Amino acid sequence: MNERYLNVVQVAELLGTTVRFPRRLIEERRITYVKVGRHVRIPESAVRDYIAANTVQPRRRGTAALPGVAA
């Protein structure tokens, strides 16, 4: 079990957001978390998975900017 467990402040720093954002992810159950007593910890792998799942790839050249609009 070499997994690092991060608190919400560490996750916010990693994502470059305020502390409110990871707290909202936890509240909405959009990210995996672990309760340790009354403390909440987020596995580092869950943060990586969240980033990967929400990464938007750039459009390739020649693709219309808007659906249904000719380039």
Q: What is the pLDDT of residue 60?
A: 87
Q: What is the residue-averaged pLDDT of the chain?
A: 91
Q: Amino acid identity, residue 25?
A: L
State percent of the chain over pLDDT 70. Answer: 85
Tens digit of each residue's pLDDT (9 = 90 or more) over 8-53: 999 999 999 999 999 999 999 999 999 999 999 999 999 999 999 9
The pLDDT value recorded for residue 22 is 98
Neighbours of 36 (CB within 10 A): 9
Nearest-angstrom CA–CA distance, 66 and 71 = 9
Its pTM surpasses 0.75? yes
Asked whether the predicted pLDDT for residue 66 surpasses 80, the reply is: no
Determine the longest span between alpha carbons in the chain, in angstroms: 56
